[in-house]
Amino acid sequence: MTDNPTSTPTAQALAGIRVLDLSRVLAGPWATQTLGDLGADIVKVEKPGDGDDTRGWGPPWLSDGEGRPTRESAYFLAANRNKRSVTIDMATAQGQALIRRLAQQSDVVVENFKVGGLKRYGLDHESLAALNPRLVTCSITGFGQDGPEAGRAGYDFMIQGMSGLMSVTGSPEGEPQKVGVALVDILTGLNATIGILAALEQRHRTGRGQHIDIALFDVAVASLANQALNFLVGGSAPRRLGNAHPNIVPYQAFETSDGHLILAVGNDAQFARFCRLAEMPELADDARYAINRERVAHRETLVPLIAAALKRQATGEWLAMLDAAGIPAGPINTIAQTFAEPQTLARGLAIHLPHPLGGIAPGVRSPLRLKDSPFDAPTAPPLLGQHTDEVLETLLGVNAAERQALREAGII
């Protein structure tokens, strides 16, 4: 990574932007990892001894070059590539002074402490902006900087429940379900990234940074999308439909003779083609099913007819025919099958990064592909404190003797 932007067409998009990462677990690290994928220099500050909570969230653990398990968790590896790790104890005055100096050398600070958590250390946005008016600070919390719940800690699972997301996820006959990954954390990280990029663009015009308030709860509610509007427009709370869609029919999973597939009919022309393919052409002319709004109104009678037809043949046979007819459909893969998909292989979605302990750290390639500013050389997630000496020396001018004294005092 470079501290100086270049004018060449292949320069990384965020070359010259430095991010001071004071976050941990997932939402904040996901945002900073994304910024790192775009070429920003990410300096991740961690607590000496333990570091980011997720370093201990295993198994599974990464293996070293001899095949022996390390203490590097898969969870930590998922959200921390392209970063430099620095250990600093921010509970100490000397540690706080070091972080303030790093903030003066940074463009962005990302943190996910509880509301007011950094103020007691003199590391809140107002304190840091007084030293560096161009600084953009992004605070990620469970519920935001104000409101009756502002002081509460927020976790993805509980936010999925409170936001209503779980109320529309799962079988109608079963209990509400969370999404199989911490999706609210991921969406919060992405929204934080968008806000940071917008604030940096505004800084080009005004010369000043600003504070960004991102809440998991806000993100989850905003991400309800059509389901939120189904309530706000229709007046009644949407219900769980399993794999079915509240506004489109047929748009769900169906059983075949040897498994399942997803049928995603998006318009009336596709439905008519499907009816011919399934040897039920009369359904496309039936007033109850010819147009989508009627199919939604009569899903209870239509879906069983489609289900019976799809059970007649195997998944692979159906997928080949549906694809040839231009009808959207797909398999329900395991994650192992996903990484064996020809499209996955062709797009190079699995990446393999040399790790400081030897061996290879697997990863998943960023979905961001900028033609004129590619980033094709990601680095493995760092060891705890791997770059402490490097960063303190090159950015702050702390010499070896001073670093040794700080280390002996437990500051770094």
- Catalytically active residues, by annotation: 185
Residue whose C-alpha is closest to residue 293's, from 254, 328, 262, 267: 267
Residues listed for the chain: 412
SS (HEC) of 113-152: CCCCCCHHHCCCHHHHHHHCCCCEEEEEECCCCCCCCCCC
Interatomic CA distance for residues 98 and 396, integer angstroms? 8
Interatomic CA distance for residues 238 and 231, integer angstroms? 6
The string of DSSP letters for 344-359 reads: HHHHT-EEEEE-TTSS
Residue whose C-alpha is closest to residue 285's, from 299, 271, 304: 271
Interatomic CA distance for residues 203 and 19, integer angstroms? 15
Tokens encoding 200: 């940096």
Interatomic CA distance for residues 111 and 43, integer angstroms? 12
How distant is the alpha carbon of residue 264 from its chain centre?
25
Provide the angle, in degrees to the nearest 10, between the axes of the packed helices 388-396 and 93-104. Answer: 60
> 57-92 as b/e, with b when 16 or more CB fall inside 10 Å?
ebeeebbeeeeeebebbebbbbbbbbbbbbbbbbeb
Token pair 């994650």 is at which residue? Answer: 335
* H helix runs in 278-334, sequence order: 292-297, 299-310, 315-324
Tokens encoding 65: 């070059």
Q: CA separation (Å) from 284 to 41, 227, 287, 294, 311?
A: 57, 27, 8, 11, 20
